[in-house]
Amino acid sequence: MISSFGSKFQFKPENAPKGAGTKCLVDCPLVDTCRYSAKRLYLDQPKRWAFYIWDKLEGIENPTDEDRINLLKGDSNYGRCIYKCDNNVVDHQSVLVNFKNGATGTHNMVGGSAGPMRRIHIIGTKGEIYGDFEESKFTVAKIHPTKTDEKTVEVVDLNVNGDMVGAYGGHGGGDEKLAADFVEFLRGGKPSLACTSIFDSVAGHLCVYLA
């Protein structure tokens, strides 16, 4: 059983700052102060989103400042006011899954958080695991009645650093590892723990579609 709630709560026309235009670099007087200004996001920090915006979506490698400005002033969606785009994607969502064996799972997505983050918290019958993507660490806590605080704690540092975007850094290097696992599986090699069966993969996708 799956329940899902979400909506366009923040990024809609009625929430736009007073006087906001429709295109950041064309008709918006708030281009230098708005936290979502295309100038601040893509021009003042040209390398921050380079792989996603310029290389792949706009099809330009090593764009000049003039290239970026022309694109953002033109028909690129990345030059439009975030509050006045015609997208229909929710900016926040909460999902609750009740599995067949009685376990429950929750997923929360917030598009307007202060910073990028991915966190996972798994609570079992003998302890719990907490993972923080940005810190690249897992904390494993096991129930231990004889200890003062009734648990043992182990911190596992994955020591993931360097390029966190691009072909080799996407999702902390996870994209490359998934592709490598798949190729190894096709070659008849031993699959890693991250390589799920087609049945589990389809079940996971069905959960997403239902949500």
Single-letter amino acid code for the residue at 100: K
Helices (H), the chain: 24-27, 38, 50, 65-73, 166-169, 174-186, 198-210
Structure-token pair, residue 5: 């709630």
Question: In sequence order, what E strands does 62-172 have?
Answer: 92-98, 104-110, 119-123, 127-132, 137-143, 151-157
Global confidence as pTM:
0.77
Is there a contact between 112 and 92 (Cβ–Cβ < 8 Å)? yes
DSSP characters over 69-86: HHHHHTT-GGGB-TTS--
Residue ranges covered by each domain of the chain: 17-79, 162-211
One pLDDT digit (tens) per residue for the chain, 211 residues: 899 999 989 999 999 999 999 999 999 999 999 999 999 998 998 777 776 677 666 677 778 888 889 989 998 888 999 999 988 889 999 999 999 999 999 999 998 888 778 899 999 999 999 999 888 899 999 999 887 778 899 999 987 765 555 445 567 777 778 888 889 888 998 878 888 888 999 999 999 999 8
